[in-house]
Amino acid sequence: MKTLLTFTLLTAAAAFAAVPRQPNIVFIFSDDHAYQAISAYGEARKLLESPNIDRLGKQGVRFDRCLVPNSICGPSRATVLTGKYNHLNGFVNNSNSTFDPTQLTFPKLLQKAGYQTAIVGKWHLISNPTGFDFWQILPGQGVYYNPPMIRMGEQIKLSGYTTDLITDVSLEWLQKRDKSKPFLLMCQHKAPHREWAPALRHLGADKDRVYAEPPTLFDDYANRGIAVRDQDMTLEKTMNDRDLKFVAPPGLTPEQKKEWDAYYEPRNAKFRAANLAGKDLVRWRYQRYMHDYTATLRAVDESVGRVLDYLDQEGLADNTVVIYASDQGFYLGEHGWFDKRWIFEESARTPLLVRWPGVAKPGTVSKDIVSNLDFAETMLDAAGVPVPAEMQGRSLRPILTGKRPADWRTSFYYQYFEWPAPHHVRPHYGVITDRYKLVHFFGTVDDYWELYDREKDPHELRNVLGDPAYAATKVELEKELTRLRKELKVPETIPPSWLGRQGGEGQKKKQTKQK
């Protein structure tokens, strides 16, 4: 009898051990982190060494073609949560959208599946988070120093640098969590969003390095339509005194302000004495921008390291999926710009690195077209939770294993609505393939198309729509764009409200002109 009981217990234990544990999930999300500023991507300018983010690439997969459907903060976050395009999840722009908290999101589904869920940091979706056992968020954009935050509906104020504080709260939640349950942690940084305010410890970290200029810093916008020429996002004209650190960031204590001024004021005085103009002024602004942007990212990389070290120390790393991404790409002087919004490469392409022990092949690189549209489905798949039919992305698991499905996407639909503020980027939509981009600018008095060949024109400097050599390509891309819009349930007519609070203005002008 004793032998039989022992055999039964051993058999039960073996069966239990054979059932795979639901993995923990850590999703680290930065704001406006350009892939050009991650050393794992090996970009020619080598702007920043990011050893901790690079660890994820060495231990997992680096994605070189992760595209966003709408290159702007709030809409991108709504897509991550819902696995849907913004015309379906309702958060189409930052001007007048509010996230519908009753709709289906992947944190809600993980919560139902027994996961503890938490989000800490930047939210930027107006309504309060739902589907989380714990949430502590920045109101709106948040500030870099001594930030107000909202913890489970309660207004609080913290002391310190925001990137560090978001990490502190995230690690504190991990330490206090119910260790009998799997967890989802969404650690979402404000950095390196404008105005790129570094931690005091990182002022001067680059030793006044001279950064290599992008080859398109002085782009003259020839061979392209009015949208590219008429934007308001240049280093030359758009950057303000806070961006350039002639004004200190809000919320500094007197002690912090003293240290800030000790670094910046001598350099600002030297700049004023030089009395720069023209290209020399743009070059100075580019160097100041790169100093601040990369310095701000140093704290983000340290934060990633702290989270990864915690997982190692607690024995959690082998059963935890770690994803690092940004809400979209960002211009680091290319075309003379900062910001994002465009279908063009530096904007629509976001960094993505995924470490999934036992699934992701360490040290590999994927050039397949993937998207933040796929994040929700991937995390649900990891947890063994069925993906709802309404979600429009796909799990990245097969790509992570190196087994690309035959029917994986080879084209991608992009759309941007917010007009005219804040950067006067015209609404547009288009189709992206591994080589081409066909884009339609609409919603204003100027309505036209452009076509780019990234293989022959990697900097996207020449519209070839009228070139007879591309006539067949144009027809093929138009068909694919029509197919995607139908498949993705894009409305035939874009509501004027989607263009922002002032969005109807351009449409009305166009209608008047046509009459």
Whole-number Å distance between alpha carbons of 297 and 304: 11
Rounded CA separation 376/386 (Å): 11
Rounded CA gap, 173 and 151, in Å?
Answer: 12
At 3, is the secondary structure helix, strand, or coil? helix
Asked if domains 22-197+292-406 and 413-514 share a fold, the reply is: no
- Write the DSSP symbol of residue 373: G
Q: What pLDDT score does 293 carry? A: 98
Q: Is the four-CA dihedral 88, 93, 97, 101 of positive or negative sign? A: positive
Do residues 137 and 119 touch, judged by C-beta distance below 8 A? yes
Q: Are 189 and 30 in contact (CB under 8 A)?
A: yes
Which residue in 121, 114, 113, 118 sits closest to 175, CA to CA?
118
- Residue environment code for 72-99, b if the CB has 16+ CB neighbours within 10 A, otherwise e: bbbbbbbbbbbbbbbbbbebbbbbebeb
Task: Please write the tens of the pLDDT for every residue from 366-419.
Answer: 999 999 999 999 999 999 999 999 999 999 999 999 999 999 999 999 999 999
Half-sphere exposure of 134 (CA within 13 A, CB side): 19
Contact call for residues 90 and 117 (beta carbons, < 8 A): no
Write the CB contacts of 20 (distance below 8 Å, at least 6 apart in sequence). 384
Domain boundaries, the chain: 22-197+292-406, 218-287, 413-514
For the chain, residues with pLDDT lower than 70 are 1-20, 44, 501-515
pTM of the model: 0.93
User: What residues does 370 pair with on adjacent strands?
Assistant: 66
Residue type at position 102: T
Residue that is written with structure tokens 């950095």 in the block: 191
Report the C-alpha gap between 416 and 231 in whole angstroms: 14
CATH code of the region 22-197+292-406:
3.40.720.10
Q: Tell me how far the alpha carbon of residue 91 is from its chain's centroid.
A: 16
**Which tokens go with 10?**
């051993």
Q: Which residues pair with 156 in a beta bridge?
A: 149
Q: Is 26 helix (H, G, I), strand (E, B) or coil?
A: strand
What pLDDT score does 444 carry?
84
What's residue 443's pLDDT?
A: 85
Q: For residue 228, which phi and psi values (nearest 5 degrees)?
A: -70, -35
Q: How far apart are CA 502 and CA 95, in angstroms?
A: 9
- The verdict on whether omega for the bond into residue 422 sits within 30 degrees of 0, i.e. cis, is yes
Cβ neighbours of residue 326 under 8 Å, at least 6 residues apart? 29, 30, 31, 32, 33, 34, 350, 351
Contact 257, 144 (CB under 8 A): no
**What is the C-alpha separation between 332 and 290, in angstroms, rounded?**
7
- Can you read off the two tokens belonging to residue 315? 């024995």
Region for residue 417 given its phi and psi (left: phi exceeds 0; alpha: psi -120 to 50; beta: otherwise) = alpha
HEC sequence for 122-143: ECCCCCCCCCCCEEEEECCCCC
User: Which one of 3.40.50.720, 3.30.1120.10, 3.10.105.10, 3.40.50.10190 gives the CATH number of domain 413-514?
Assistant: 3.30.1120.10
Q: Is 206 exposed, middle or buried (0-12, 13-18, 19+ CB in 10 A)?
A: middle
In whole angstroms, what is the distance from residue 347 CA to residue 343 CA?
A: 7
